[in-house]
Amino acid sequence: MSVRERNVQVTVEFIPPAECPLRNIESEIGKVLVDREGNTCRCDVVISVETEDEVGSMVAQIFGDLDRCAGSVFEEFGCVPEVTAVKDEHIVVQTYVDEETDIEALLDGLREVCEDVTLKRVSSDFKHHIASTFRDVDITSLTLKQRQAVEAAIDRGYYSRPREISLEELAASFDISEQALAQRLARAEETIMKQIFSRD
* pLDDT tens digit sequence for 110-153: 999 889 999 888 887 544 443 444 556 777 888 999 999 999 99
115 and 153 inside one domain: no
127 and 58 inside one domain: yes
pTM of the model as a whole: 0.52
148: containing domain: 142-200
Q: Which of 101, 106, 81 is nearest to 91 (CA)?
A: 81
* pLDDT tens digit sequence for 182-194: 999 988 888 888 7
Asked if 34 and 61 touch (Cβ cutoff 8 Å), the reply is no
Of 106, 121, 139, the last residue of a domain is 139
Q: What is the average pLDDT across 40-46?
A: 73
Side-chain-facing half-sphere of 25: CA atoms under 13 Å: 28
What is the count of structural domains for the chain? Answer: 2
